[in-house]
Structure 1
Amino acid sequence: MQLRGWWAISCAVVLGAALALARLTRSTVTWPVVALLAAQPLPFLALTGKLLIGPVGAAVALAVAAADVVAARAVRRSVGPLARVLAGLWTAVGVLLGLGSAFGADPAESWAATGVLALAGAAALAAVRSGSRFPEVVPGGVGVVLGAALAGSLATTGDAGPLLAAGLGLALLTAGALVSRRPGLVALLVAAGAVLVLLPGARLADDARYAELALVALCGVVPATVAAVRLPRLRGQATAVALGAPYVAVLLARADDVLPSTVAGLLLALLAAAAFAVATLRTGRPEEWVCTWAGAAAGATAGAVTASAGAWGQVGLQLTVAGVAAGCYALVAGRWPVAVVAVADLVAASWIAVGGAGVGTPEAYTLPAAAGLLLIALPSLRAGARSWAAEGAAAGVALLPSAFVVVADPTALRLVLVVGAAAALAVAGTLLHRQAPFLLGTGALLGVVVGRLSPYAPLLPRWITLGAAGLLLLVVGATYERRRQQAREAVAWVAQMR
């Protein structure tokens, strides 16, 4: 007889003797413990090496764990903890053996192991007491194990296995969001679904199958949207996933060259617009800022993705889409910082579009910036703020660069327009008592006049220059006190402007 047989006979004899002695001496703890320990290896002694590490071994280990659970309830209270510890150890062994077989190359053994784990999970769920303090723990653990086993078994079906597993996981996640009133069932479905999505997703990423991974990410919008609608406590997190899933899907599709850069950028810009639209609808709720940040990230990424292809016109268009959506949200929700960012985005979009078209006219860049600054200054204007804090920056950006260009590189059209604009600003500042427009307009006029006439000064005869200087000194000296008083009045008049 082999050693295995002698071992089995020895354990059986010890088990029988310990049980008999335990019935005769009920106050002794030693004999129940000996009987419990002697019974543990008996079922495994009938298995050979290959069966021991396959689905059969997993089934035997889980059966021993179940027997230990039953024994923990039947034996004396002092032996119960030992039985529960043994049950936990054999459960871990059975799960590890089952998962090892489920991820094996043999489809028959893989599905057999998954079936064993499913039966064991059903038994564990049936054994859970309804009054448990943590009703989600056991279903969640069963869900993790079953999800991993199903992922391994579906992987044996070929290249379509990861997609099938991920699709099943997404369906389970959706079902978990729909049955939200039953915590145990929700834990089971969500745990299994999450593992079924993550493990195949990791395999697709490791195999660089980004197109299929993009499809999985895009389908993730469904359970996230259902959760956002049905679960108020998780609405912020679910909204983030619902907006992040298409974002990741577009980037993965671009990485696999499924989408060209311009199309990927346009899709991201539309996603940004959708995010700002949702933020507008959910103003005042926690998920509003989730949508806002998601829209900002999608809009910025859209410009970066399209810029990599050098399509600057498309970059300007996409930034405009995101900026208009952000601006509308800011106006409706009253979010002033978002409005500032939206205006900056629109100005940048115009610069990129103009620069991409090869336009070198300075006003093509300064006028959009001035318009943006004026839009930002509208609340200050309505509140009656001082001109330098309101329209001063916009007026300076619009006028002064053009005035410098007129002096350095004059053209008739620009000279007429700059002089007309400067005069209009000076007159408007005078009539409205606004200091910034008045000083900027008069300063620009003076700079243009001096800059345009100074090249002709050396051409005049010297006696005319000296005579004019002497005459000017005589006039100033004769009317010094009156001119001084007028200068004080002029400075005071300008200083009292807003």
Structure 2
Amino acid sequence: VAVAVEITGAAVGVLALGFAVSRPAFLALALALVGVIAAATAVRPERRRFASWTAAVLFLGAAWVRLAVWEVTTPEAYTLPVTVPALVVGFLRRRRDPEASSWTAYGPGLAATLLPSLVAAWTDPEWARPLGLGVAALVVTLLGARFQLQALLVLGGGVLALDGLHELAPYVVQVVGALPRWLPPALAGLLLLAVGATYEQRLRDARRLRERLARMR
């Protein structure tokens, strides 16, 4: 009975969010309400892990949508006051329980600021925000590699890569446009040949990287 009720409730929640997509203000409210339901479900021990993550994602989504509705151009002013105490709480939890996952301790706090800042950086014509975000993501990535924390390494590295891609893309387009038309396909073909010739080695490297990442907390 419980599973059937949960599936029905989840389906109704998804349907409600679909109806609210066209009106962002109501979408933020719907995300928050569904997040409250998910947080209440997390009280049950057998649902705690999944429901708690779902509630965190929904609350973050509601906050981001609300910032977009308010046309906030500096989301860091709203997200950093949430990120700092969240990271402090995560640090204290890791001190009490060193086996706690870094995703549980630091993931929500980092995502609360890094992801909205990344969206803002992609639409910001100035250089200050992308530079600051890149430096912050680099520091987070280095801390993740130093202390073997998976959440910091993945979130920081992902944001750093996307931020660098956005900043370098115009120059890459200019360089490609200045080259002869036959050269980019030829370089792509050579790259594919090189990858194919070393396929087994690349596969072993990928497996080692995945295993090393899986060993991180």
**TM-score class normalised by the smaller sequence:** 0.5 to 0.7
SS state at 2:94 partner = helix
**Rounded Cα–Cα distance in structure 2 between residues aligned with 1:485 and 1:401:** 35
Q: Percent identical across equivalent pairs?
A: 39
Q: Quote the residue 2:131 is aligned against.
A: 416
Conservation of the 8 A alpha-carbon contact between 1:381 and 1:391: no
Match of 1:473 in 2: 192
Mark the CA change 1:410 to 1:387 in structure 2 (over 3 Å): closer, same or farther: farther
Alignment match, 1:399: 114
CA contact (8 A) 1:380 1:389 kept: no
Q: CA deviation at 1:458?
A: 4.7
Letter in 1 for 2:194: V
Q: Which has the larger radius of gyration?
A: 1
Offset at residue 362 of structure 1 (A): 1.4
List alignment gaps of at least 5 residues for structure 1: 1-354
Alignment of 1:439 onto 2:138:
no
* Counterpart residue number, 1:377: 90
1:197-247 C-alpha deviation (Å, 9 max, x unpaired): xxxxxxxxxxxxxxxxxxxxxxxxxxxxxxxxxxxxxxxxxxxxxxxxxxx
**Unmatched runs of 5 consecutive residues or more in structure 2:** 1-69
The structure showing larger relative contact order (alpha-carbon pairs under 8 Å, at least 6 residues apart) is 2
Length-normalised TM-score, structure 2: 0.59
Counterpart amino acid of 1:407?
W
3-state DSSP class of the match of 1:409? coil
Alignment partner of 1:429 out of 137, 140, 144: 144
1 CA distance for matches of 2:92 and 2:143?
A: 20
1:452: how far off? 2.7
Spell out, residue by residue over 1:130-175, the C-alpha distance to the aligned partner (whole angstroms, 9 max, x if none). xxxxxxxxxxxxxxxxxxxxxxxxxxxxxxxxxxxxxxxxxxxxxx
CA distance in 2, matches of 1:413, 1:472: 35
What amino acid is aligned across from residue 81 of structure 2 in structure 1?
P
Looking at structure 2, the residues matched to 410 and 392 of structure 1 have their Cα atoms a distance apart, in angstroms, of 28
Structure 1: distance between partners of 2:204 and 2:139 = 28
Tell me how far 1:456 sits from its aligned partner.
4.8
Matches within 5 A, 1:193-212: none
Aligned: 1:386 with 2:101:
yes
CA contact (8 A) 1:426 1:441 kept: yes
SS of the residue corresponding to residue 182 of structure 2 reads: helix
- Residue 484 of structure 1, aligned match among 187, 203, 209: 203
Aligned to 1:87: none
Name the CA distance, whole Å, in 1 between partners of 2:205 and 2:137.
24
Paired AA for residue 468 in structure 1: L
Equivalent position amino acid for 2:199 in 1: Y
Per-residue CA deviations over 1:466-496 (Å, capped at 9, x if unaligned) read 1221121111011111111001000111111
Q: CA deviation at 1:386?
A: 0.9
Q: How well do the aligned residues superpose, as a CA RMSD in angstroms?
A: 2.4
